[in-house]
Amino acid sequence: MYKNLEYWKNKVAIVTGAGHGIGAEIAQDLIDIGMTVIGFEPTENRVAEMCEKFVSSKGMGQLVPCKCDVSKDQDLKNAFEGIVDTYGGVDVLINNAAIGKEGLISTGDISDLKNVIDVNIYGLIACTRFAIQSMSKKEDAGLIININSICGHYMPPFAEPKINMYIASKRTMTVINKLIKDELKSLKCKVRVTSISPGIVRTGIFKTAGIKFLDEEFFEKNPHLTTKDVSNVVLMVLAAPRTVQVNEVIFHALHELY
């Protein structure tokens, strides 16, 4: 599909939230180009579901399921130590794991707010820190791709505020991406960081999060992206020359309102 993807064959990628939705699509595509994909999911059930979804690849890639909750330091420590011991470190990190909850910041369930922060913000930072340490053990420069959202840049045109906790976490991700990129530059570290911000994607996250207005009827009536669209943009970033820094990719479905 893209040139230069051959470079990533036999290299190691971590995909967080790899068992479903966008993460599963990205993981399968990375396997298909010959990568070893370490798929992070937080529970045994999710890991089992992940194992059932993936198919063998002509590119000779493979899936390595890993029970790892990105909001828990010990899980991350164990996972990354195992990756260094087995593969010498990681080459690509796809920070995809995120949760959404319907509710306002001022009045929503405080435990929901904490869970969103723990996964979407703290998990992103912690996983990134471990990945940078791991990437430094390899000679080739690593790549971190953060799956952000268009609402990390623009307020969505919803009639009522419904998912403000999620929007706040994605706005925070936009800032974190810029700060980490600048830090790595000042440290003269070769690791590249890219933020990918899609518009509305048809996934199951809205249903599991209890976000009722983004239902099947909404997707039937409104332009939207597919998980494959997002994965194709990830492959596009991977195909870019390794001397190129892709800072941000913002995209949405044709005629989507933004």
Q: Catalytic residue positions? A: 166
Tell me if 228 sits within 8 A of 28, measured CB to CB: no
Report residue 221 CA to chain centroid gap: 27
How far is residue 143's CA from residue 92's CA, in Å, rounded to a whole number?
A: 5
